[in-house]
Amino acid sequence: MRRTSARLADGREIVYFDEGETPREPSPDPRVLPPAATGSEMRFDPLLREWVVIASHRQGRTHLPPSDDCPLCPSTDGRDTEIPAASYDVVSFQNRFPSLVPDHGRVLGDIGEPAPSRRAGTGRCEVLVFSSDHDASFADLSPARVDTVMAAWIDRTLALSALPGVEQVYCFENRGPEIGVTLHHPHGQIYAFPFVTPRTRRMLDSATAHHESTGGDLFADVLRDEREAGVRVVARSEHWTAFVPVAARWPVEVHLYPHRRVPDLPALSRDERRDFGHLYLDVLRRLDALHGVPLPYVSAWHQAPVREGRDLFHLHLELFSVRRAPDRLKYLAGTESGMGVFVNDVAPEDTARRLREAAP
């Protein structure tokens, strides 16, 4: 694989991950673009002790354009896209409409908050494009292409983790308009957060409490218990196990754990990286076979923070869908959106059984 870095017309970085051996000569971006957005800020919720990102400039971002106007397709004569190349394999570039922006020394004006509880929304948001084929999905990729995507995730995790002020790197994919996707082209995103996210903080607190009370590794114990029980295991390989968690919140929810505890993607061995693609593609194809229609989903990598909890955290992938039947979606109920208490209408054991039986 060859890695080539270049710049777009407004100065944003773009990185090509090419599977061939031929060196890439990046084409210049001929567009005339306005300056990149800098208006993001963060506000601290004192009741939940969580940061909320305010990014009002994202209201004008591209929303479900027609396929012949997709900004993630290769550029052609007469139509310049976000990727100034006639062909590509995997590409990462800074988001034109980011939730978090590089630190430009922005000073926030007074809005009458009761106490200093605001910061500039510094960080970085990137788009990771998995294929030049507009009509493909991740499940259509070859194991070799998944290996390239994995190399890109690792490259960007290392690069973003090294940026000043970054505390956590989050790689994820949303698929399907039902889940909120605004571009149909197969792609994911990568966020570099200036704080440890609430979900990760809670998992670290749980892992710490478990270790103090039992001396054990919470994530390893969960994986061991699921593998021994077997009833919720969907598929397994030499280095990974995919299972429906015992307390699944979503109608369809699958977690993929490497058998060896590692804190993040860069810590995976070469064999673990290659093995992941085969199992993940198998799981994705089972998901699409479950209801006979492409399943909308969120696929989220949980990695350890950059500077803390790395000896406790266990890298894993969480994949979930809001589709609970071929013609029905799950919407958050009042208990879920108001109190955070999830109610799942589908038994996790039943979901696991049906996924095992689904023909990928």
- Residues designated catalytic: 187
CA–CA separation, 248 and 222 (whole Å): 13
Q: Which residues contact 51 (CB under 8 A, 6 or more apart)?
A: 42, 43, 44, 45, 195
CA–CA separation, 318 and 242 (whole Å): 10
Ramachandran angles phi, psi of 294, nearest 5°: -55, 130
Cβ neighbours, 10 Å, residue 307: 11
Q: Which residues contact 236 (CB under 8 A, 6 or more apart)?
A: 227, 242, 279
| DSSP assignments along 288-307, one per residue | HHHSSSPPPEEEEEE---SS
Paired tokens of 274:
């290659």
Among 188, 59, 45, 197, residue whose Cα is nearest residue 123: 197
Paired strand residues for 355: none
CA–CA separation, 130 and 63 (whole Å): 19
Cβ neighbours, 10 Å, residue 165: 14
